[in-house]
Structure 1
Amino acid sequence: MNLTSLEVAIAGAGIGGLSLATLLARQGAAVTIYDQMAAPQPVGSGFVIQPTGAAVLSHMGLLDQVLARGSRIRRMHGRLSSNGRTVLDVSYAKGAHGIAIQRVALFDLLLDAAVRAGVGFETSSRVTAVEDGSRPRIVLEARNGSPADLVVDAMGAGSPLDRKPATELSYGALWATVPWPKGGPFAEDELQQRYHRASQMAGVLPVGTAHDGAAPMATFFWSIRNTDVAAWRNAGRAAWINEVRAFWPDVVDLAEIAEPVHARYRHHTRQPLAGRNIIRIGDAWHATSPQLGQGANMALLDAASLCTALISQQTIADGLTRHLRQRQMHIRFYQLLSSILTPFYQSDSRILPFSRDLLIGPVTKFPLLRGLITTLVTGELLSPVARIAFDRIAFDSSDEDALGQPA
């Protein structure tokens, strides 16, 4: 399909929405993003871009800039807080790595790419519904958006376009971005975590710089039951610092300067099609806990898949069908995997973490199983990038000159 006559309305200026908007606009589509913020801005802390997400960013011509701002992650290492015994040890294949990055850093790069591609923005625009039809229309609080050929819900797990509530997980986390402790006890290429059963987890992730010339930072996270957040606030900072000190002394300095934000998590798999020529991507379609760290990577894959599918087909309907064929198997598998594994890492169970500690650490010492676990964690199982067929996207010369190659 020639996209030069395509009009697209995207609800949500997150990673998935910005990526899709840029890819479509570069193909000549007229794209408008509607977002409730007064100005586009990121929400959340740091995360790891896996090889799947990096492949999309490479084809967008952004990978070199992402690598310059992020930190290469080559290992994920988890120990028990009580005795330091390793219960999770996952390393990337030789020459491969993840990229830990601050959400604001990736957001700024994606926003700049969208603006340069000619994407339009309607800010301070809270989307409340979508009018179905051959030319669907986004409905805002105070007015209606213009009719479009395609409407995309990229508003995340809390999207108002599905009245069916998502299942909120019992555990959330306190997240903070703090200065990277140079010369401290943490490796610059590792995600390090500590566990007590499944009821307590903390981690430190180096996430690079927010922009050129900025100081390197780390993301510090501390799991917490959502029902315990009020009690945590009432107990005060000193009580929390004492708890952190008893759990993992090495991170006390980070906790003391942290300004933590409480994040809640949902698990759901909604119907991807919300009406005729109305589709969901990212967490609006499939939300999970952060245990496998796939959220941003899945959104990038969704965006690239939808673009290539539309290009390869003669009609929007056929493009959406092709897109779902390319993505559904991968999404269903990781939704199931997340549902199964999350209680082993965040729950009140005593049996599940015991079996985790007994089995997972020793299993990762066997090369074949270690490789399988690595493939699971990096999101590469079922070959989601190959299914997208990036060769369907023809970049113009300016895009080709900007293409970065995986390091």
Structure 2
Amino acid sequence: MKLDALEVAIAGAGIGGLSLGAMLARRGVKVVIYDQMTAPQPVGSGFVLQPTGSAVLAVMGLADGVRMRGANITRMHGKLAGTNKTVLEIGYRQGEYGIAIQRVALFDLLLQTAVSVGVAFETSSRITGLAEGEKPAIVLDGGRMAPTADLIVDAMGASSPVGYDPAKELGYGALWATVPWPKDGPFHASELEQRYERASHMAGVLPVGTAHDGAAEMATFFWSLRNGDIEAWRRAGRAAWIDEVAAMWPEAARFAEIAEPVHARYRHHTRKPIAGRRMIRIGDAWHATSPQLGQGANMALLDALSLTLALEKAETVEEAFALHLKQRQLHIWLYQMLSRVLTPFYQSDSRALPFMRDVVIGPATRLPLVRYLVSRLVTGDFLNPVGRIGAGNYSTTEIPSLAISNT
């Protein structure tokens, strides 16, 4: 397919939309990204880039920038509140690590790259739907139609209004806040640390590096919460929350004292990837899960690279869609299934499941074979997703034609 003759409209300026837009524009595609914000800006706190997501960023030429801003994570360690009994112990394989990064840091790198390669932006554009036709179009607030395109991509995340189903929302969400990293301890600079009280309470601390050069090192603090309890939490006030955090994890009370938390809701769904003729979904708009496996942003990056390479290889948009789905569907199915099975062990009202987690699953993760399998699960590389999309090794030296200049 001749990509320099292609016009693509992307709904949503998140990680998936920006990375896809940048990769396509680098190949000569005319790309316009629509977003409801008055200016492109990130939504959310910190997360872990797994080796799969880092591979995509390496292909884009952004690996060094991510490493400079992020914090290397080599271990995930969870304990029961009160007893300090270890019930989760996950380490990366030799030579591997995750990169914990603030969403704003990655967003800025992707936005800078997208702008540098000619991606256009239409901000203050609230998207309400997609219109099919010989050349589809994005439908804006008030029924206004954006200019038609050869291809429409829904990258609006789990709450995309296109095919939205409120019944897919999970019962538990979380409070997230970015707070200064305490260099005096007691937290570990290369670990995601968590505390559990059954499955109804979970807290975590993740070092996430710096937002930009010269900025202070930060951490992400999260606290699980039933969505139905958020109003009661607000009415109770900060002092009550500080007391609750201190009772469960005394060392983390300092974060509750200074945090400006944002309440995040989660969804679990697998929508049809093809939204209509020449219309496709990527990222959480296609496949959303809870954050327990930490794969959301990594999956969006994989989707973006897969669709880009499929469009480059195929003769038509329809053939590209078919190739893209062949490359991604099995990996997505596996992680959707695992997320559905494992989430209730960590966020639910069940008493039996956390007991099984603490008595069976936790000790089992110390066995060599189980530890190996769990580490592969966390890194996201079950079924070799990077190889399946034709991206080769985790290095731009293997695919020099794909690198995007950041200058």
What is the TM-score when the length of structure 1 is the normalising length? 0.96
Q: For residue 21 of structure 1, what is the aligned residue in structure 2?
A: 21
Q: For residue 238 of structure 1, what is the aligned residue in structure 2?
A: 239
Equivalent-residue separation in structure 1 for 2:400 and 2:280 (angstroms): 25
What secondary structure sits across from 1:390 in the alignment?
A: coil
Question: CA contact under 8 A between 1:269 and 1:285: conserved in structure 2?
Answer: yes
Question: CA contact under 8 A between 1:157 and 1:166: conserved in structure 2?
Answer: no
Question: CA contact under 8 A between 1:70 and 1:101: conserved in structure 2?
Answer: yes
Cα drift, residue 263 of structure 1: 0.7
Question: CA contact under 8 A between 1:21 and 1:31: conserved in structure 2?
Answer: yes
Q: For residue 297 of structure 2, what is the aligned residue in structure 1?
A: 296
Q: For residue 63 of structure 1, what is the aligned residue in structure 2?
A: 63
Cα drift, residue 82 of structure 1: 2.1
What secondary structure sits across from 1:13 in the alignment?
A: coil
Alignment of 1:268-307 (within 5 A): 268-307=269-308
Q: For residue 174 of structure 2, what is the aligned residue in structure 1?
A: 173
Residues 311-366 of structure 1 deviation map (CA, whole Å, 9 limit, x = unaligned): 11111100000000000001111111100101000001000000000112211221
1:138 is matched by which residue type in structure 2?
Answer: I
Q: For residue 153 of structure 2, what is the aligned residue in structure 1?
A: 152
2:73 is matched by which residue type in structure 1?
Answer: I
Question: CA contact under 8 A between 1:166 and 1:267: conserved in structure 2?
Answer: no
Equivalent-residue separation in structure 2 for 1:141 and 1:289 (angstroms): 29
Alignment of 1:76-95 (within 5 A): 76-95=76-95
Q: For residue 9 of structure 2, what is the aligned residue in structure 1?
A: 9
Equivalent-residue separation in structure 1 for 2:95 and 2:114 (angstroms): 31
Q: For residue 41 of structure 1, what is the aligned residue in structure 2?
A: 41
Alignment of 1:353-368 (within 5 A): 353-368=354-369
Change in Cα spacing, 1:163 to 1:402, as seen in structure 2 (3 Å) is: closer
What secondary structure sits across from 2:83 in the alignment?
A: coil
Q: For residue 136 of structure 1, what is the aligned residue in structure 2?
A: 136
Change in Cα spacing, 1:232 to 1:165, as seen in structure 2 (3 Å) is: closer
Give the number of aligned pairs: 402
Change in Cα spacing, 1:400 to 1:22, as seen in structure 2 (3 Å) is: closer
Q: For residue 107 of structure 1, what is the aligned residue in structure 2?
A: 107
2:17 is matched by which residue type in structure 1?
Answer: G
Cα drift, residue 377 of structure 1: 1.2
Q: For residue 217 of structure 2, what is the aligned residue in structure 1?
A: 216
Equivalent-residue separation in structure 1 for 2:130 and 2:171 (angstroms): 31
Residues 202-252 of structure 1 deviation map (CA, whole Å, 9 limit, x = unaligned): 000000000110000000001111111111111111111111111000101
Equivalent-residue separation in structure 1 for 2:206 and 2:253 (angstroms): 15
Change in Cα spacing, 1:48 to 1:192, as seen in structure 2 (3 Å) is: same
Cα drift, residue 144 of structure 1: 1.5
Question: CA contact under 8 A between 1:78 and 1:86: conserved in structure 2?
Answer: yes
Q: For residue 187 of structure 1, what is the aligned residue in structure 2?
A: 188
Residues 188-212 of structure 1 deviation map (CA, whole Å, 9 limit, x = unaligned): 0000000011010000000000011
What is the TM-score when the length of structure 2 is the normalising length? 0.96
Equivalent-residue separation in structure 2 for 1:370 and 1:301 (angstroms): 25
Q: For residue 51 of structure 2, what is the aligned residue in structure 1?
A: 51
Cα drift, residue 368 of structure 1: 1.3
Q: For residue 261 of structure 1, what is the aligned residue in structure 2?
A: 262
Unpaired runs of at least 5, structure 1? none
Equivalent-residue separation in structure 2 for 1:93 and 1:107 (angstroms): 28
1:26 is matched by which residue type in structure 2?
Answer: R
Cα drift, residue 166 of structure 1: 4.9
Q: For residue 326 of structure 1, what is the aligned residue in structure 2?
A: 327
Cα drift, residue 50 of structure 1: 0.2
Percent of counterpart pairs with the same letter?
66
Q: For residue 202 of structure 1, what is the aligned residue in structure 2?
A: 203
Cα drift, residue 390 of structure 1: 2.1
Question: CA contact under 8 A between 1:267 and 1:286: conserved in structure 2?
Answer: yes
Equivalent-residue separation in structure 2 for 1:145 and 1:166 (angstroms): 30
Change in Cα spacing, 1:215 to 1:366, as seen in structure 2 (3 Å) is: same
Equivalent-residue separation in structure 2 for 1:275 and 1:401 (angstroms): 33
Cα drift, residue 386 of structure 1: 0.4
Q: For residue 313 of structure 1, what is the aligned residue in structure 2?
A: 314
What secondary structure sits across from 1:213 in the alignment?
A: coil
Change in Cα spacing, 1:328 to 1:166, as seen in structure 2 (3 Å) is: farther
Equivalent-residue separation in structure 1 for 2:167 and 2:184 (angstroms): 43
Equivalent-residue separation in structure 2 for 1:305 and 1:199 (angstroms): 37
Unpaired runs of at least 5, structure 2? none
2:120 is matched by which residue type in structure 1?
Answer: G
Equivalent-residue separation in structure 2 for 1:355 and 1:82 (angstroms): 18
Cα drift, residue 122 of structure 1: 0.4
What secondary structure sits across from 1:159 in the alignment?
A: coil
Q: For residue 348 of structure 1, what is the aligned residue in structure 2?
A: 349
